[in-house]
Amino acid sequence: MDTTTLLWTLAAILVAAGLAGLVMPALPGIGLIFAGLVTAAWAEGFAYVGWKTLIVLGILTLITIGVDLVAGALGAKKFGAGKQAVIGAAIGGFAGIFFGLPGIIFGPFLGALIGELLARRNWNEAGFAAVGTWLGVLVGAALKIAIAFTMIGIFILVRFLR
């Protein structure tokens, strides 16, 4: 196997793992996608996809990381949640990966709810805050997925439509 094929294979594996990581909190999804796209550009000596494109993709990666960090917190704040809900949502999201897709979807909600209840809020307040946190996490996930596919699309356009 030549180096180009090996690098393209590695790039495909990184991008595939990154796509999985967009919905699985244990994997750094967007970072893996960016690493895969850089590896794909490197496979061809940056002849088709150059540094300007990679800088744009890097900026989109940083934006996505910011969205990931802020979305849940903004949803929580909008619905009156406290720090406990945000921390609970993060723990619930991580724990949810062990329960498949339902765990990934509902883990952040349950974590936020438990966090708010531990903070001595009543069920109505805790439920409302948990919904806000959960919506923030879902909106953040949707934005991450949209930006990730935009990055892949930019790479494909630059690489194959030159």
d(CA 76, CA 130): 7
- Integer Cα distance of 146 and 60 in angstroms: 11
Angle, CA of 90, 87 and 85, to the nearest 5°: 105
Q: How far apart are the first and last CA of the chain?
A: 27
| pLDDT for residue 74 | 82
> In which residue are the tokens 């704040």 written?
77
Range of the domain at 25: 3-160
**Model confidence band, residue 150 (pLDDT cutoffs 50, 70, 90):** very high
Q: What's the pLDDT score for residue 19?
A: 95
**How many domains does the chain contain in total?**
1
- For residue 4, pLDDT beyond 80: yes
pLDDT at residue number 134: 84
Cβ proximity of 6 and 16 under 8 Å = no
Predicted confidence (pLDDT) at residue 162 exceeds the cutoff of 80: no
5 vs 16: CA distance, rounded Å = 16
| Total Cβ atoms within 10 A of residue 95 | 16
**What pLDDT digit, counting tens, does each position of 42-75 carry?**
999 999 999 999 999 999 999 998 888 788 778 8
User: Residue 22 corresponds to which tokens in the numbers above?
Assistant: 């967009």
Q: What is the pLDDT of residues 63-116, one digit of tens each?
A: 998 888 788 778 887 888 888 888 888 888 888 888 877 887 888 889 989 999
